[in-house]
Amino acid sequence: MNIGIIISIVSLAWIISEIVLARLKHSGSTNTKLDKSSLRLLWTTIILCIVFGNLLSIYRMGAISTGSYYVSISGLVLIVAGLVVRWTAILTLRKYFTVDVSIVSNHRLVSTGVYKFVRHPAYTGSLLSFLGLGLVFSNWLSLFVIFVPITVAFVYRIRVEETALVTFFGDQYVRYCATTKRLIPKIY
């Protein structure tokens, strides 16, 4: 099968999964919403960066000429790995996961499964996938334009989310933060 077709299928599955997630896991009216427009900022950043990164790739500005096929394959692997990490995190949280930052009734702090290794594994998964997308284009500028601003938007969202979690869970969340890194186990 052609790599372009595989990339298209994986990308379509990724997009559909995020649309379904956004529709099904938006916080309810009874939840305390603490998002501070971080979801809107994140989606705006993602859309703009992907469009611009794609255009750079189409016009071959910053193209990776040596080994571009293997770079694309590596990117595809990272997209799939990121999706697996993201969905594992979402399924671990179950009812506590929402696409917008909110506290659900009877909210519990989850620190098991992938949450034992990082505090925001769903974001780790997303960032792995965006890194992979940048590599799929086999273009250094596309990689930069996609990965860096989206990472900055996720860091902002993490700050908003952690403020909400500290406010709700207090010392319990502070202790969890002391033993668990944000995105990369034992590093950050």
Residue 29 has pLDDT above 60, yes or no: no
Burial class (CB in 10 A: 0-12, 13-18, 19+), 29: exposed
Percent of the chain with pLDDT over 90: 73
Q: In the prediction, which pLDDT does 178 show?
A: 96
Give pLDDT tens digits for 71-125.
Answer: 999 999 999 999 999 999 999 998 899 888 988 878 899 999 999 999 999 999 9
Give the number of other Cβ atoms within 10 Å of residue 121's Cβ: 23
What CA–CA distance (Å, rounded) separates 170 from 163?
10
Residue 33 has pLDDT above 70, yes or no: no
At residue 27, the pLDDT reads: 65
Reported pTM = 0.91
The angle, 0 to 180 degrees and rounded to 10, between the axes of the packed helices 68-93 and 3-24 is: 20
| Straight-line distance from the first to the last Cα atom of the chain, in angstroms, rounded to the nearest whole number | 38
Confidence of residue 52 (pLDDT cuts 50, 70, 90): very high
Is the Cβ–Cβ distance between 177 and 161 less than 8 Å? no
Q: Phi and psi for 30 in degrees, rounded to 5? A: -85, -10
Residue with tokens 């799939």: 80
Asked if residue 107 lies in contact with residue 96, where contact means CB atoms within 8 angstroms, the answer is yes
Can you give the pLDDT at residue 10? Answer: 92
- Contact assessment for residue 122 and residue 97, using Cβ atoms and an 8 Å cutoff: yes
pLDDT, the chain, mean: 92
pLDDT for the residue numbered 14? 93
Angle between helices 38-58 and 121-136 (to 10 degrees): 20
Does residue 28 have a pLDDT over 80? Answer: no
Structural domains in the chain? 37-179 (1.20.120.1630)
What pLDDT was estimated at residue 66? 85
